[in-house]
Structure 1
Amino acid sequence: MSPVDTVMWRGDSDRRLRSTICVLEVYDTEPDWNRLIAAHDWGSRMAPRFRQRVVESPLRTGTPSWQVDPDFDLHYHVRRVRVAGDGSMREVFTLCEQLAMTPLDPARPPWEGYLIDGLANGKTAYFLKAHHALTDGMGAILVLAQLHSKSRDPIPGKPQPPAPPVKDLSALGVLTRQVEEEIARIPRLAGMAFDGVKALTDPKKALSRVLRYGRSVPRVAGMISPPGSPLLAGRSVSWRFSAFEVPFDAIRAASKASGASVNDVYLGGLIGGFRLYHERMGQPVEAIPVAIPISVRQPDDPEGGNRIAVGRLSGPTGIRDPFERVLTIREQVRAARSEPAVDIFNTIGPVLAWIPGPVLTQFSATTSQNDLQASNVPGIPWETFVAGAKVERMYPFGPLPGCAVMATMITHNETACLGLNFDAAAITESELFADCIVDGFNEVLELGESAGRLERVI
């Protein structure tokens, strides 16, 4: 396990910091159960990490190991449930909230999949939950794509990789691997030391670099972010989901009209919603602390694990004009991406991995102070099917690592699907908040003069 994944895994020792990522898919009909199980079997052989469990170090420090579960059992991991009540989307989301808040079994590969029957109009849903240590958002989409097909009918001739072999991993084996990893880091550390000595040949330049990095660290660590909103200060272990959708063309049009990126428009819409919520609750604020992931994933990186850095923004809730707000966010995002210390958590990860979990959670201030964390993940841009059922929508829900709201957007077949996971103690008026997100987002979309508008699903 990588050091960053280790920090996420050990963070579960504090219930408020559980790192469970979720995706809800809505199908037009009921998929064939046997084909669905076969798809999971095939997908877990294509992405072997989903057959692996975490083996902790006997000292409970250092990076844990991944081991193929000798008792891997799809009968446990893939389940079938029926939604209560009238089968409405509200009932489905209530069920998914409860499933998401239930901890994963640390003795098994940390994921579960649920086929949800009983939706209105003959539809079916599928809910996947996995620990963030297993993969990041982009990696999750790559893995989920293994279950999808471009055809409703079975496709013959797919590659059939064998199941990954089971290898016994003892406590001594884990310790040996940890020592080998630390030894393997010596050349890199030596290279860094050599570069440092070499840089002294130009002391002025070296001092300038050190000072720039030193000034960057507090910004990346969130030490000089704006204070959190008093309105959103509550924290608990209760998650609530809300979902929205909008034609992706409407976001593109606003992006083109404003000269900003799709991600800038997305953030501008969210922060506009936060502005309206504070105003309508009678507690306006000028700015809120916002964090965004910055992907450092390379094409040749494995599908599992996390390849992300953190960017910090001062969400301009005091700016009423949507055009000005989006451009302000654009400049902040550019600055965040170019921070010298942007990758600091990956840099110091090997050190953090040796800190025991209960102590490590004390570092949660870097996330619990955030009022909003927002992620934009590329989805699957074409029509897809799962075991004979068409995938109509795909709603993502990130974890709440102590923040008030986690927003995630996936674009599926030209529809941008937005999933919000929020702390029930932070957002006390959930209906009003959802309405504010719709209004705030749509005032940004109006920049593009498109007919497309954000609509609330639930």
Structure 2
Amino acid sequence: MSEQTSTGPYSQLSDHDRPLNFGTDGQMSPVDAVLWRGDSDRHHRGTLSMLEIYDCVPDWDRLVAAHEWGSRMLPRLRQRVVDSPLGAGIPSWVVDPEFDLHYHVRRLRLAGDGSIRELLTTCEQLAMTALDPERSPWEVYLIDGLPNGKGAYFLKAHQALTGGMSSIAILAQLHSRQRDPVPGKPQPPAPTPEATGALDILLRQLSHEVQRAPHRVDLAIKGAMALTDPRKALSQVLRFGRSVPRVAGLISPPGSPLLAERSLSWRFTAFEVPFAAVEAASAEIRATIDEVYLGGLISGLRLYHQRLDRPVDAIPVAVPIVVRDPDNPHQTRVSIGRLAGPTGIDDSFERVLTVREQIRAARNEPAVNAFNDVGPMLAWLPGQIVGQLSGATTQNDLQASNVGGIDWESYVAGAKVERMFAFGPLPGCAIMATMVTYNGTSCIGVNYDAAAVTDPELFAESVVDGFNEVLALSDTSGRMTRFT
């Protein structure tokens, strides 16, 4: 046991036995507040999903106990969102006095043939069902009925729940390095429920605005100092002004007519590729993993359009861009980068290099942090207006992200994890792709709008063939396959 502190509610616990330092802030971040309010438009719900495949069905009692323990280690899992009585401003997180693990942790058995397609269909239906806003916004399902005695685990949660912490990092807390139970796990007490009224929420909002005041004053001072060199100030304003439409996607290429339709219907498909093959292609092309990944997806969409005799030169693409905080170089923030996916370039090498240059240009846009900067102001807008602003993503044909995974063999309640897929929300775009690398295998989950992708089999074949075009640029034997 490590040294204990002498005071506080966890004074009898060792340092490693304490709840994780996440979800302790009672105030939602401005960006998360915008994502939460965007749910007012059901086309833009921010539900993210995770699907794990196990070599057997986990022990139910151990799984429930793991989530009980996890909700103590991560107090955010016992918190619900309480909005301002004004319906605007930053909502708060409060410990739910009626938290009921029985509601959040569920089990079901697959009907039909128990195939992976049947599993994905079930997960689609679960993901499209709205989360209860009066409870902590997450649910998990243990699923059995798969062939060969395998099991599956499905998590759905609102993206505002994770805040700045990766959903993979949260999920990893439930994983173990061994199949057998681990004795002596920390057992912190459950977080204490809070009595939070309308006045408390308003005071929290006021405190938050007061805390931001020095930042706003600093911006005003910098603006005033810039006026000492009017020519330089005007140049910066013009550069920023030209950058805003690019960052906002207002001058992106037109969306593909083939992918133009939108609906409420989500569909999942999944792929896997050896991470070593992606690394080999990255080294050969001298591009990053992200650039190879995105180049492979765009290559697949290029083939999809060609095979349906509807080729296009470019498609609008959005990707997360990690940028350094200009006021604190040691901190990073995630923004959005806009690209013109080069589906009209025939050569796969040139296609990836074009993606590489566009990503690097997007990272250096003067207005790259604009969304983070205006987030606090957007949070004060009514939910319906925020939902309409979220509709800007409907012009994207593809949104793609690569999130950190787990690089070691892991177990959950006695079952070995074989694959780990993430399916991001579909905020009005045609296709959302997410890559998670687990124990040497890159698992790519794709959520697409059923009205936009009308030939799912051809779409899946094209993604595999297009991605393998890029991998073939190196001498690796690894190739992408569809997860079936």
Q: Tell me the TM-score normalised to structure 1 length.
A: 0.96
User: What is the match of residue 465 of structure 2?
Assistant: 439
Task: Please tell me whether the aligned partners of residues 136 and 307 of structure 1 are also in contact (alpha carbons under 8 angstroms).
Answer: no
- Alpha-carbon RMSD across the aligned residues, in angstroms, is 1.4
Structure 1 residues 138 and 66, CA gap change in structure 2 (3 angstroms): closer
Moved more, 233-242 or 44-53: 44-53
Q: Give the deviation of 1:296 after TM superposition.
A: 5.6
Relative to structure 1, is the Cα distance of residues 386 and 296 closer, same or farther in structure 2, using a 3 angstrom cutoff?
A: farther
- The alignment partner of 2:156 has SS state of strand
1:345 aligns with 2:371: yes
Report if the CA contact (8 A) 1:246-1:453 is conserved.
Answer: yes
Of all paired residues, the percent bearing the same amino acid is 67
- CA contact under 8 A between 1:138 and 1:378: conserved in structure 2? no
Q: Measure, in 2, the Cα distance between the counterparts of 1:195 and 1:361.
A: 33
Among residues 178, 184, 206, which one is paired with 1:179 in the alignment? Answer: 206
Match of 2:104 in 1: 77
Offset of residue 164 of structure 1: 1.3
**Are positions 1:62 and 2:89 aligned together?**
yes
The Cα offsets for residues 400-445 of structure 1, whole Å up to 9 and x where unpaired, read as: 0000000000000000000000000000111100000000000000
TM alignment of 1:49-128, pairs within 5 A: 49-128=76-155
Ranges in structure 1 where 5+ consecutive residues have no aligned partner: 299-305
1:137 to 1:451, Cα distance in 2 relative to 1, 3 A: farther
Q: Distance in 2 between matches of 1:350 and 1:14?
A: 20
Distance 1:284 1:133 in 2: 37
- Equivalent residue, structure 2, for 1:208: 235
Output the CA distance in 1 between the equivalents of 2:75 and 2:323. 22
Equivalent AA in structure 2 for residue 134 of structure 1: L
Q: Deviating runs (4+, > 6 A) in structure 1?
A: none
Question: 1:387 aligns to what?
Answer: 413
Superposed counterparts of 1:248-287, under 5 Å: 248-287=275-314
In the alignment, what sits opposite 2:24? none
| Contact 1:336 1:342 (8 Å CA) reproduced | yes
Shift of 1:448: 1.3
Q: How far apart are the structure 2 equivalents of 1:137 and 1:438?
A: 32
Candidates 435, 455, 477, aligned match of 1:451 = 477
Residue 185 (structure 1) shift: 1.5
Match of 2:436 among 385, 410, 417: 410
> Residue type of the partner of 1:387?
A
SS in 2 for 1:133: helix
AA at the equivalent of 2:213? I
Give the 3 Å change call, closer, same or farther, for CA 138–438 of structure 1 in structure 2.
Answer: farther
Task: Please name the residue that 1:243 is paired with.
Answer: 270
Amino acid at match of 1:9: W
SS at match of 1:438: helix
Contact kept in structure 1, 2:323 and 2:363, CA below 8 Å: no
**1:262-341 pair list within 5 angstroms:** 262-295=289-322, 308-341=334-367
User: Structure 2 unaligned runs (5+)?
Assistant: 1-27, 326-331
CA distance in 1, matches of 2:323, 2:57: 37
Q: Distance in 2 between matches of 1:207 and 1:446?
A: 48
Shift in alpha-carbon separation, 1:138–1:411, aligned structure 2, 3 A: farther
The answer (yes or no) to whether the contact 2:44–2:391 under 8 Å persists in 1 is: no
The residue aligned with 1:419 is 445
1:295 Cα deviation from its structure 2 partner: 3.8
> Paired residue for 2:179, among 152, 176, 179?
152
> Shift of the alpha carbon at 1:360?
1.5
- Written as runs of structure 1 = structure 2, the 5 A alignment for 1:121-140 is 121-135=148-162, 139-140=166-167
Rounded to whole Å, the distance in 2 between the matches of 1:436 and 1:360 is: 35
| Partner deviation per Cα, 1:18-47 (whole Å, 9 max, x = no partner) | 110001000001111111111111112221
Deviating more after overlay: 198-207 vs 433-442: 198-207
Aligned length: 451
